[in-house]
Amino acid sequence: MAFKCGAVDNPNARRVNQVVMPTMGGLAIFLAFNLTNIFLLYKQYNPEQFWALLLAQIIIIATGIIDDIFELTPKRKILGILLGALVIFFVAKIKMTTLTLPFIGMVKLGWMSFPITIIWILAITNAVNLIDGLDGLATGVSIIAISTSAITGFFFLNTTSIYISIMMFNLVFALLGFLPYNFNPAKIYLGDTGSLFIGFMISVFSLYGLKNATFISIIIPVIILGVPITDTFFAILRRFLNNVPISQADKHHLHHQLMQMGLSHRQTVLVIYGIALIFSMISLLYPISSLLGSLLLTIATLFGLEIFVEQIGLMGPNRTPLLDFIKKVVLFTEENDVINKKNKK
């Protein structure tokens, strides 16, 4: 179908594929996921919310299919995601309503609920879309992230019903069924049809746990999605520092940098799977940590992440502020030791 309607990825300077590849693989995931939901969950799920969620998914899938065939501009792609997000907010009524902050207490978001929810959906959807650069990368990372979210929500946060967890695992197994055809060497790509759909569903699933958001319930999905969020954040920062448009594509994403270090296609994907698993393991520590423990865990994670990012050059060449600072501290300490030894002599 992809070949017949022109939903293909042609080799170019930014692509890793050497031959024309069919995209639009996300349509298979969408169908498997929703057919299972209709047979398993429809009677137990809120019917109005169920159909509203399906309508939003169709809008995202349609946006992805059109993009895979005709290649939409970034603004038009965001417009499609925005339409899906509006359905989620106004029709499905899945949104953030309150925020509980340490030392402050519960804050009702009021009118702020709308922009916060919409920005959350747009940010997470685009983050997953950006990491879809290697065979099986976005699929595997999403499997890890959604599985962790389902486990965390069901066993620790008590903010999601059993049916939401089952729905999450439905998507996990739809992705697992697709992965053998998508892993290197891939026979078909997710395309924007798949990456937009997966990112959108991850953002919506996380909103079920963020209806009455707390510091912990916000930080957990951010840590779980550490790989796409990190890649997106530093892509924006890198382009800002280089004075180029944020929407301008480049070849300095996480997977590009790892491959430039000498890793093969498969090795790069497996390394990023490993990083995603590390983020997932860290996220599982939050529900069993105190507030102080959560703060220290966050600081330690950010510290380690910054060192890793600077080591692989994700911000660009010669942009290593933390490593430079550490080197200066070490050098200063060594010079002091030498002076002290001379004084003792």
Residue 61: its pLDDT value, please? Answer: 97
Residue 19: its pLDDT value, please? Answer: 83
pLDDT single digits (tens) 75-114:
999 999 999 999 999 999 988 888 776 667 777 888 899 9
Tell me, letter by letter, the H, E, C secondary structure of the chain: CHHHHCCEECCCCCCCCCCCEECCCHHHHHHHHHHHHHHHCCCCCCHHHHHHHHHHHHHHHHHHHHHHHHCCCHHHHHHHHHHHHHHHHHHCCCCCCEEEECCCEEEECHHHHHHHHHHHHHHHHHHHHHCCCCCCHHHHHHHHHHHHHHHHHHHHHCCCCHHHHHHHHHHHHHHHHHHHHHCCCCCCCCHHHHHHHHHHHHHHHHHHCCCEEEHHHHHHHHHHCHHHHHHHHHHHHHHHHCCCCCCCCCCCCHHHHHHHCCCCHHHHHHHHHHHHHHHHHHHCCHHHCCHHHHHHHHHHHHHHHHHHHHHHCCCCCCCCHHHHHHHHHHHHHHHHHHHHHHHHC
Q: What are the C-alpha distances in Å from 124 to residues 47, 96, 128, 199, 225?
A: 26, 15, 6, 6, 8
Query: CA 238 to CA 170: how far, in whole Å?
Result: 36
119 found inside a domain: yes
337 found inside a domain: no
- Of 239, 236, 188, give the one whose Cα is nearest residue 27: 188
Residue 143: its pLDDT value, please? Answer: 96
Residue 190: its pLDDT value, please? Answer: 94
- Of 228, 263, 207, give the one whose Cα is nearest residue 132: 228
Q: What is the dihedral of CA 236, 242, 247, 253, to 10 degrees?
A: -60
Query: CA 142 to CA 90: how far, in whole Å?
Result: 26
Residue 188: its pLDDT value, please? Answer: 94
331 found inside a domain: no
Domain limits for position 94: 2-8+19-249
**Residue 327 near residue 321, CB atoms below 8 Å:** no
324 found inside a domain: no
pLDDT single digits (tens) 249-265:
777 889 889 998 999 99
Known binding-site residues equal: 129, 192
Q: What is the dihedral of CA 202, 132, 247, 68, to 10 degrees?
A: -90
Q: Which amino acid is at 96?
A: M
327 found inside a domain: no
What's the pTM? 0.90
What is the total count of domains within the chain? Answer: 1
Known binding-site residues for Mg(2+) equal: 129, 192
312 found inside a domain: no
Beta bridge partners of 100: 106, 214
- Of 167, 153, 127, give the one whose Cα is nearest residue 216: 153
113 found inside a domain: yes
335 found inside a domain: no
Per-10-residue mean pLDDT for the chain, 345 residues long?
90 69 94 91 79 95 95 92 96 85 75 93 93 92 94 69 85 96 92 96 87 75 91 88 79 88 93 95 90 91 94 85 90 82 74
